[in-house]
Amino acid sequence: MTARSIAVLLSGSGSNLQAVLDAQASGELAGRVALVISDRADAYGLQRALGYGIPCAFVPLPAAPPAERAAARAAWERRLLSVLNAFSYDLVLLSGFMRVLSAEFLASCRAPVINQHPALLPDPADAAAGRDYVPTSAGARVPALRGAHVVAEALRRGLGATGCTVHYVTPEVDNGPVLARAEVPIVPGDTEASLHERIKIAERRMIVEVLARLA
């Protein structure tokens, strides 16, 4: 697989996108960001992309009463796909995109989808074999943390280390084949914000490496 045209989906600040754009500008990365889509109009990542002249789209998921939520979500995913497919892309990067994409979306998407996750995740085969943890450099086992609040959870569980992972997205949330992972120590006095910022420093480096490898 080559990843020369990358579609980025994000919901927030986009500091990882910034690292990718910087690497693209310096020639470190052969691939290029072809478009950026957000489900949030106020995502700062959109402003970063616009600053580079990259096409951007805001595709909101409309609120719906419970009985209509599934249909609204399916319609939103179809809109997302039609926006994506108006461009040429060979990789979709979820970079702080705070929505789960359905199996139907993943099956219809023209390109592989990868995700940045701010915790250590094992390979799916290890998880399935009961090894749902990642060994650390200190010989400890860090349990796989999945979902949207994993930085806080790492602190709440009193772990000595956490980290970040880039993995392929499959219908099983936060459990796809791993492309790269990096360990980040948890230090005394860490808050969710300080720990997440340190994780993001590792993530920015790692996503550029992964994209360079795929390109």
Residues with catalytic annotation? 117
- Binding map of ligand GRF across residues 64-103, x = CB under 6 A, - = no contact: -------------------------------xx-------
Q: How far is the CB of 68 from ligand GRF (least distance, A)?
A: 28
Evaluate whether 123 touches 167 at the Cβ level (below 8 Å). Answer: no
- Binding map of ligand GRF across residues 111-130, x = CB under 6 A, - = no contact: -----xxx------------
Select the span of 11-19, 73-81, 120-128, 181-189 touching ligand GRF (CB under 6 A). 11-19
Select the span of 14-22, 52-60, 81-89, 123-131 touching ligand GRF (CB under 6 A). 14-22
| Site for ligand GRF contains 200 (CB under 6 A) | yes
Residue 154 CB contacts under 8 Å (≥ 6 apart), including other chains: 119, 145, 162, 186, 195
Q: How far is the CB of 151 from ligand GRF (least distance, A)?
A: 8
| Site for ligand GRF contains 38 (CB under 6 A) | no
| Site for ligand GRF contains 167 (CB under 6 A) | no
Cα(8)–Cα(58) distance, integer angstroms: 12
| Site for ligand GRF contains 203 (CB under 6 A) | yes
Cα(214)–Cα(19) distance, integer angstroms: 16
| Site for ligand GRF contains 12 (CB under 6 A) | yes
b/e sequence 176-206, b meaning 16+ C-beta within 10 Å: bebbbbbbbebeeebeeeebbebbbebbbbb
The helix-helix angle for 192-214 and 15-26 (nearest 10°) equals 40
